[in-house]
Amino acid sequence: MTVTTSLPDAQSRSQGVALRRGLTMLGMTLVVPGSAQLAGGNERIGRVAVRIWLTLIALAVLFVVLLLVPFTRAFALGLYANPITLTVLRWASLALGLGWAALFVNAWRIANPAALSAAGRVIVPALAFTLALAVGWGSWTLSNAFEAQSRLVGNVFGGGGKAETSSGRYNVLLLGGDAGAGREGLRPDTLIVASIDADTGRTVLFSLPRNLQRAPFPESSPLHKLYPNGYWCQDESCMLNAVYTLAMNHKKLFPGVKNPGVQTTKDVVGNILGLDINYYALVDLKGFEALIDAVGGINLDVGRKVPIGGGTDLKTGRKYPITGYIGPGKNLHLDGHDALWFARSREGSTDYERMARQKCVLNAMVKQLNPTTVLTKFQEIAKAGEEIVSTDVPTSQLGTLLDLAAKGRSLPLSSVSFAPPLIQPAKPDFPRMRQITADAIKASENAGDGGKKTTSSSPGSASPKPSAATTKSGTRTDDLDAVCTVS
């Protein structure tokens, strides 16, 4: 019995070797760009590409190490968040992507395509061009991300604030305003100071009511001569949130000042609390809504239902209908629209409960905004960030503040709301407010790791704790957990 074995002829074997060689070359280029050229004879191109690849790996490892080491983290973040660095990265990612794509095409050529079978002549070049297109598209996307970051940093972080800490703290004034149609100028309805420990990132939030009267201008302010006894009018229209517009209407008194409204608000708020304000961030409502949507929304436990809509137009007397409600409920997911209404709604509520809700939203953003979200949705975040009207945080301080934000995410957030009965907005006791501020900061600094949840400070307390004070509507004005809880 004769057994015959059919063996592939020499041409078939040669074509199989050529196919494996072509696929191997493309795989080598994917893993280590330039390695295929070293193996295939284009040693000059290969050496240059491999050296660039190893240099990029070394730089990436160095950057990660700098991020992991506590005393170099701020430097690394600041170096990255620099318009020059981001511009270099933008064009470098494009150039490197095009170079990598060209290496795939070159790897196909040095794999001897003439020796391939008919099927191989389709498979290898199709795979080569697919990988080249994928790398090119990836580099284009990355370049656009760097461009968005550079534009965001350049347009928003203009600088001008004070980089020096005050008693080891950074004090940042957060303003929320709406300069939309039907409003005369911009009146910040949200005034919150975040006092941040420069070492630990532990933060205390101080909310000031927009209707606070008799706000004291420091003697260094040009408006002190006009209102030596504080900002007060017979018709009670001289409220804290009108200081911005007042200063903007007296621009001639502030030669050389870019934004008299912001500068005066910083001075007045700092004078009220006894704090030296380092920076401010003024956010338009539209930008706030877009930012929440960009990060994918926030989750809150809402203690009582909050109306969407409602209210009355002060000029026309027109009443707006309530179109829905937010909550109550556990772990509610709020998109930008609902988060904005949760923070700003006044219908059936008070300004003081509203102040607490605003801090709940800020707390949720701090706790729930993670690096993965930032990386995967940065284009949307950058676009929303450009809706920020202004901030005087310089790019050189971004690393420091981002580092402190990362540290503070895992720490309890203390909160003080200057609302009745703690203070009376029509006749506030400013020395008492300064003492409460100092006590809350001292309690936060002494808290160490003992705090287990978001707390609030009341006057004379040795450590932050919820206040039993209530408004006429029964709202616990300086206890965030009475209004909402951040998971």
- The reply to whether 150 and 221 lie within a common domain is no
pLDDT in tens, the chain (487 residues): 555 555 456 666 666 667 778 788 899 999 999 999 888 778 899 999 999 999 999 999 999 999 888 888 888 888 888 888 999 999 999 999 999 999 999 888 887 776 777 777 788 888 999 999 999 999 999 998 888 888 877 777 778 888 899 889 999 998 887 654 444 456 777 888 999 999 988 989 898 988 899 999 999 999 999 999 999 888 778 899 899 999 999 999 999 888 899 999 999 999 999 999 999 988 777 677 887 887 788 888 888 889 988 877 656 667 778 889 998 888 899 998 899 888 888 787 777 787 778 878 877 876 776 655 655 565 566 666 565 667 888 888 888 888 888 788 778 778 888 988 888 998 999 999 999 999 999 998 887 645 444 444 433 333 333 333 333 333 333 445 555 666 5
Please check whether residue 436 lies inside any domain of the structure. yes
End position of a domain, from candidates 156, 185, 203: 156
Give 61's contacts (C-beta < 8 A, 6+ positions apart).
Answer: none
Taking Cα atoms as reference points, which of 58, 33, 61 lies closest to residue 48? 33
- The reply to whether 344 and 369 lie within a common domain is yes
Please check whether residue 5 lies inside any domain of the structure. no
End position of a domain, from candidates 156, 187, 222: 156
- The reply to whether 152 and 177 lie within a common domain is no
Q: DSSP letters of 131-170?
A: HHHHHHHHHHHHHHHHHHHHHHHHHHB---S--S-BTTEE
Distance from C-alpha of 84 to C-alpha of 79, rounded to nearest angstrom: 9
Taking Cα atoms as reference points, which of 275, 250, 19 lies closest to residue 122? 19
Please check whether residue 65 lies inside any domain of the structure. yes
Structure tokens at 166: 């005050």
- Using DSSP bridges, classify how beta strands 329-334 and 484-485 pair: parallel, antiparallel or unpaired: unpaired
Taking Cα atoms as reference points, which of 104, 126, 131, 130 lies closest to residue 116? 126
Please check whether residue 1 lies inside any domain of the structure. no
Please check whether residue 2 lies inside any domain of the structure. no
Please check whether residue 164 lies inside any domain of the structure. no
Taking Cα atoms as reference points, which of 470, 458, 460, 463 lies closest to residue 412? 463
Please check whether residue 161 lies inside any domain of the structure. no
Please check whether residue 70 lies inside any domain of the structure. yes
Number of domains in the chain: 2
List b or e across 301-313, with b for residues whose CB sees 16 or more CB atoms inside 10 angstroms. Answer: bbbbebbbebeee
Bridge partners of residue 300, in order along the sequence: 332
Domain carrying residue 51: 10-156
- The reply to whether 152 and 179 lie within a common domain is no
Q: Is 3 helix (H, G, I), strand (E, B) or coil?
A: coil
Taking Cα atoms as reference points, which of 103, 102, 130 lies closest to residue 28? 103
Taking Cα atoms as reference points, which of 298, 271, 286 lies closest to residue 208? 271
Question: Tell me, what CATH number does 334's domain have?
Answer: 3.40.630.190
- The reply to whether 78 and 207 lie within a common domain is no
Tokens 């309690």 belong to which residue?
A: 443
End position of a domain, from candidates 156, 190, 222: 156
- The reply to whether 316 and 429 lie within a common domain is yes
- The reply to whether 332 and 274 lie within a common domain is yes
- The reply to whether 136 and 179 lie within a common domain is no
- The reply to whether 215 and 311 lie within a common domain is yes
Other C-beta atoms within 10 Å of 416: how many?
A: 29
- The reply to whether 113 and 209 lie within a common domain is no
- The reply to whether 330 and 212 lie within a common domain is yes
Q: Is 34 helix (H, G, I), strand (E, B) or coil?
A: coil
- The reply to whether 114 and 198 lie within a common domain is no
